Chain A
Amino acid sequence: MSQDFALDTRASSAVPTQRRKPRRGIPTFWRGVIGVGVLALGMEIFARSGLTDERFLPPLSVVIVKLGQELVDPAFLLAILATFGTWFLGLLLAAVVAIPLGIVLGLSEFTYRVSRAAIDLVRPIPPIALIPLVILVLGTTLGMKITLVVFAALWPILFNTITGVRDVDPQLTQMARSFQLGRGAIIRRIVLPASAPFIATGVRVSSSIALIVVVTVELIAGGSQGLGAYIAEARAIGTDVPRVFAGTLMTGALGLLINSALGALERRFFGWHERKDV
């Protein structure tokens, strides 16, 4: 499924594409802007209406201002960097492990079935449940966070890589073999490109999981760095509530940035690939 929320309804149109009705009304972009504007206004009014305590639900304008202030504060920027860095390292490590492993496991029928059974068993273990253990063993360190991120992000990439390898048209590999291509060459020139879109999807899915794990660990483990710790600390202190919202908004912005970037990359390189519900 495309990450885009702007969903494609014309996929199955009986009317040829060039004859699609010209969209009437306000262009899509401005509709989005209007939507945001209406929501922002609504939230502002609601927060100031007296229905809720302004101490706990600050108006949007106050939060935006606070966010602006924080964005020039080095401590805040460091927190963003810490979260991003942990996320990036964890995802990279997971990919470096999962992709080669996935290719090897996917190539043989036997290893595929065994590994699928094994993955299906281990995958459902929520990484969240491992947090207390890992904190015990490794303490509140970067290594601890990376371990958890890698564990969580491994499975989607691994699973998708295996699926991608399995999905390679056997006729392609047969053709390659008929041209006397060796194993390594087949992997490099046929299997990898063909399974690349699946791998890309796996990476994209893992990226969001990784971000959640990073932020969650930062939230929970005391004495951490990063945005999660920033938010938790702000709430614990309790005097500057807009900071809590500002920090949370920032995680959303980070997530959106990551999603959009990866989605755009995926479309750019793999737009040709027919998505088959992966």
Chain B
Amino acid sequence: MAVTVAVTVPAAARRHGGPLVRILLSVGVLVVLVVLWQLATMTWKSPFFPEPLRIFANIPKVLTVDSAGGSTSPFFTDVLASIGRMLAGYVLGCAWGVAAGSVLGRWRAARDYTSPIVEFLRSVPATAVLPIFILLFGLGQGMQIAFIAWGVSWFVLINTASGVASIHKTLIDVGRAFRLSPAKQFFGLVLPSAAPKIFAGLRIGLTAAMILIVTSEFLGATNGIGFQLIQTQRRFQLVDMWSWMLVIAILGYLLNTVLELIEARALRWHAGSRR
């Protein structure tokens, strides 16, 4: 899967209106879209497209009452379980991606030897390896975590390598001219310098992790948000299905926002230093 590295908002867009205006605009657009959606579903009634208000109202129920009639609360058995597995895989994938990416970014030789391999392996669509992972690890949490880690690591690796490799030569000279220890050169100069690109990789990796957890739960799971989604579909519980879709979307949005907040904090200097 190709990679989008940090997207730059054109200068013109940044000038007009601060973050508050943007938030208001987003809220406004959201409201308009929902109203349109509601009107559309009320006008062209279809069993496949329940009214959004019903879907929203149904979310609390779907999180607390098991659609299959069981006694457990889906919030714990499905939502938290999925998040847990996803984060485990995500963290593993990011750790490996940053480590391997740093090595590859730092040493041209390493890049030269591994470049064809990396280019090929990361071109394999992240979900296509699911059957292989099922073969190797069976069905279950371990497989899911490994599967997610694999998929996430490629995005993080590529972006980290790009970030590490693009450190400015003068900064490298500074590290050497002042005889900094290799550790200090890496953690004090290389990593911070590469941080913007690394974070871009982390964001893409998070999106990938969401996709991968849901996909893995479509095929090989007994609980989870993806599992619930496919189950409600199979049982033709349309409103419940839509509610789960919304839960997934909201979850993705929340996690993304958290990551963006962390990134904003860690890269405070970056915004200011951009000329």
Contacts and interface: CB of A to CB of B under 8 A. Distances in A.
Contact of A120 (B12, B26, B242): B26
Given A9-B108, A9-B166, A163-B10, A135 B233 contact: yes
Interface string A175-198: 000000000000000000000000
Contact of A248 (B25, B132, B219): B132
A102 interface: no
B131 to A, nearest CB: 4
Contacts of B13: 112-113, 116, 166
Contacts of A68: none
B33 A118 contact: yes
Contacts of B109: 25, 31
Contact of B131 (A32, A35, A244, A253): A244
A129 B249 contact: yes
Interface string B109-146: 10111111111110111111111101110000000000
Say what secondary structure dominates the interface of chain B: helix
Contacts of A231: 128, 131
A117 interface: yes
B59 interface: no
Given A117-B28, A211-B1, A220 B128 contact: no
A277 B6 contact: yes
Nearest to A232: B131
A153 to B, nearest CB: 11
B26 A208 contact: no
A133 B127 contact: no
B269 to A, nearest CB: 17
B261 interface: no
A154 B248 CA distance: 20
Given A7-B161, A13-B169, A130 B245 contact: yes
A126 B249 contact: yes
Nearest to A119: B29
Given A1-B5, A121-B29, A219-B127, A57 B113 contact: no
A133 B112 contact: no
B113 A35 contact: yes
A245 B230 contact: no
A163 B245 CA distance: 29
Nearest to A235: B131
A124 interface: yes
Contacts of A105: none
Interface string B1-33: 111111111101100110000100110111001
B94 interface: no
Nearest to B108: A9
Given A129-B248, A132-B241, A57 B136 contact: yes
B218 interface: yes
Given A216-B127, A231-B131, A234-B131, A133 B245 contact: yes
B6 to A, nearest CB: 5
Contact of B123 (A11, A35, A256): A256
Interface string A89-132: 00000000000000000000100111011101110111011111
A248 B129 CA distance: 6
Contacts of A249: 124
B29 A248 contact: no
A133 B7 contact: no
Contact of B214 (A52, A126, A259): A126
A211 B242 CA distance: 25
18 contacts: A5-B118, A8-B166, A35-B116, A113-B13, A117-B26, A117-B28, A118-B33, A125-B252, A132-B230, A136-B238, A166-B12, A208-B125, A211-B125, A219-B128, A251-B124, A251-B128, A255-B125, A256-B119
Q: Which 3 A-B pairs rank lowest in CB-CB distance, beginning with the nearest?
A: A255-B123, A252-B124, A35-B113
Given A124-B256, A228-B128, 8 more contacts: A13-B169, A35-B114, A116-B13, A118-B29, A121-B33, A129-B248, A136-B238, A163-B10
Interface of A: 1, 3, 5-9, 11-14, 25, 28, 31-36, 38-39, 52, 56-57, 109, 112-114, 116-118, 120-122, 124-126, 128-133, 135-137, 156, 159, 163, 166-167, 170, 204-205, 207-209, 211-212, 215-216, 219-220, 227-228, 231-232, 234-235, 241, 244-245, 248-249, 251-253, 255-256, 258-259, 276-278
